[in-house]
Amino acid sequence: MRHKERADGRPEVVIIGGGFAGLSALDALGNRDAQVTVVDRNIYSTFQPLLYQVATAGLTSADVAYPLWSATGRRGSSYRRGELAGVDPGERIVTLAAGDKLSYDYLIIASGVSAAFFGVPGAAEQALSLYTRRDAIALRNTLMDELERRNEGLSKPELDITVVGGGATGVELAGTLAELRNFALPAVYPNIDRSMFRVRLIEMAPALLAPYHDSLRRYTRQQLVNRGVDVLLETTIKEVRPGSVLLADGSECRSDITVWAAGVTAPADEWSADLPRGRGGRIEVDADLRVVGQDRVFAAGDVCLNQAHPVAQLAQPAIQQGRHAGEQVARLIAGQPTRPFRYHDKGTMATIGRRSAVCELRGGIRLRGTLAWFAWLGLHLIYLLGNRNRVVTLVNLTWRYLTWSRGGGVIVGDDIPGGD
């Protein structure tokens, strides 16, 4: 079943994954003379940087999702729901889990990654992750259920939440959980004693937000402490147990909810067994993002790794890699040579809570506090897909931060079954 070209003469390009990298590749190919198909197991693209807001009931899951059929339709491409099960570079065929086969002339793999538990016993079974939309809904429902039970006197009054990982996701989640307790709890759950609601953040490194300047790391820790977060640095988790976490020093911390935000890894799927794999199971690519040893298969985003020039597994590198992969496919279609990928670091930012964030830009420019928080909010609204999502997210977040003390920032009950 090998088809080098369609009947209309246009080459076929298949993109696996509808996240940041996949949609950026689609944008780069949108006006090219090619038939592009995006394959994803979900019918929507998820804006992962705001999943912690869904998990803490500040946004609905629909606010961070955008339909892939709309994204592809506007670009004259097509969407195919499915999960990758096999890649045959020799025959240029991808096989989906349902058994369907798609031929391609060029393939871009942007399938993303999953939570990395680093072999910690009990972590995968007992901890909740925060990488997919389904994860965020599950965490929100678990949190709301635990709070409701305590408000109604059906459980012991103590509620301990442990967030594992001091990167951006861990910091943002811990800070928002603390503000949920500090501001919204009295209005929404008046029977809960706030002093019994404890938020703990554990990081094995000596500082939070490792890629940031030391002054911003110190600021972040102090802001979390000011909000009542118990920050444990240089602390290693030995085991995650039902209702507790065991530390490497032998001490045990009570933990009714444990959230794992300590890193990501490429899933060990069978379809990638024949592709070169590097650190964290990521697919190894050459300078132009072609998979090592392949001339028509590219990889972009979190799932790929250039050993010589690694980049962080963040949204901005994924966006730039996806765009580059799409541009290189367009160059090959036009009979031109590919170009190496160069990452343009535009800076990083993370929010800690209401009117508190850190931002590090090119040229050594560092912001913190209210100005950094507005910069963070503006950037996230720009990158959200869909005007509806931008408007609703702005309204919901504004409403949350203005009305938390009256319980106005807690949204529940938007579960949508299926998908991630």
Q: What is the pTM for the complete model shown? A: 0.89
CA distance 59 to 61: 7
Specify whether 179 is located in the same domain as 226: yes
| In contact, 34 and 333? CB cutoff 8 Å | yes
Residue 109 belongs to some domain of the structure: yes
Q: Give the domain-ending residue among 310, 333, 356.
A: 333
Residue 394 has pLDDT above 90, yes or no: no
**Antiparallel, parallel or unpaired: β 114-115 and 244-247:** unpaired
**Average of per-residue pLDDT across 195-206:** 96
Specify whether 92 is located in the same domain as 136: no
Specify whether 353 is located in the same domain as 256: yes
User: Of 130-139, 188-197, 336-345, 393-402, where does mean pLDDT reach its minimum?
Assistant: 393-402
What CATH number is associated with residue 28? 3.50.50.60
In the chain, the number of structural domains is 2
Residue 150 belongs to some domain of the structure: yes
| In contact, 176 and 312? CB cutoff 8 Å | no
Specify whether 328 is located in the same domain as 224: no
**Average of per-residue pLDDT across 375-395:** 80
What CATH number is associated with residue 196? 3.50.50.100
Residue 50 belongs to some domain of the structure: no
For 277-293, write each residue's pLDDT tens digit.
888 788 999 999 999 99
Specify whether 201 is located in the same domain as 171: yes
Specify whether 375 is located in the same domain as 253: yes
How far apart, in Å, are the Cα atoms of 282 and each of 107, 161, 245? 17, 31, 29
Confidence label for 417 from pLDDT (cuts 50, 70 and 90): very low
Residue 49 belongs to some domain of the structure: no
Residue 145 belongs to some domain of the structure: yes
**What average pLDDT is seen over the chain?**
88
Per-residue pLDDT, 5: 47
In terms of phi and psi (left: phi > 0; alpha: psi -120 to 50; beta: otherwise), the region of 234 is left
Residues 6+ apart with CB under 8 A from 115: 129, 131, 260, 263, 264, 265
Residue 159 belongs to some domain of the structure: yes
CA distance 101 to 86: 9
User: Over 93-146, what HEC string results?
Assistant: EEEECCCCEEECCEEEECCCCEECCCCCCCHHHHCEECCCHHHHHHHHHHHHHH
Task: Kindly provide the b/e burial profile for residues 317-345, where b requires at least 16 CB atoms within 10 angstroms of the residue's own CB.
Answer: bbbbbbbbbbbbbbebbeeeebeebeeee
User: Of 4-13, 78-87, 122-131, 136-145, where does mean pLDDT reach its minimum?
Assistant: 4-13
Specify whether 213 is located in the same domain as 270: no
User: Of 4-8, 50-54, 169-173, 317-321, where does mean pLDDT reach its minimum?
Assistant: 4-8
Specify whether 207 is located in the same domain as 307: no
Per-residue pLDDT, 2: 43
- Residue of 129, 116, 126 lying closest to 240 (CA atoms): 126
Per-residue pLDDT, 392: 80
Q: Tokens for 219, please give them.
A: 């600021």
Residue 320 has pLDDT above 90, yes or no: yes
Give the domain range for residue 37: 12-41+82-113+266-333
CA distance 84 to 96: 5
**Antiparallel, parallel or unpaired: β 252-254 and 244-247:** antiparallel
Q: Give the domain-ending residue among 307, 333, 359.
A: 333
CB atoms within 10 A of CB 79: 21
Classified as helix, coil or strand, 323 is helix
CA distance 115 to 267: 9
**172 catalytic residue (yes or no):** yes
| In contact, 117 and 165? CB cutoff 8 Å | no
Specify whether 100 is located in the same domain as 154: no
Specify whether 22 is located in the same domain as 158: no
Q: Which of 12, 91, 148, 172 is labelled catalytic?
A: 172
Residue 62 belongs to some domain of the structure: no
Q: Tokens for 179, please give them.
A: 């503000």
Q: Give the domain-ending residue among 299, 333, 367.
A: 333
Residue 194 belongs to some domain of the structure: yes
Q: Tokens for 214, please give them.
A: 């030391």
For 208-263, write each residue's pLDDT tens digit.
998 899 999 999 999 999 999 999 999 999 999 999 999 999 999 999 999 999 98
| In contact, 162 and 255? CB cutoff 8 Å | yes
Specify whether 172 is located in the same domain as 191: yes
User: Of 187-201, 213-227, 318-332, 396-410, where does mean pLDDT reach its minimum?
Assistant: 396-410
Residue 4 has pLDDT above 80, yes or no: no
Specify whether 352 is located in the same domain as 236: yes
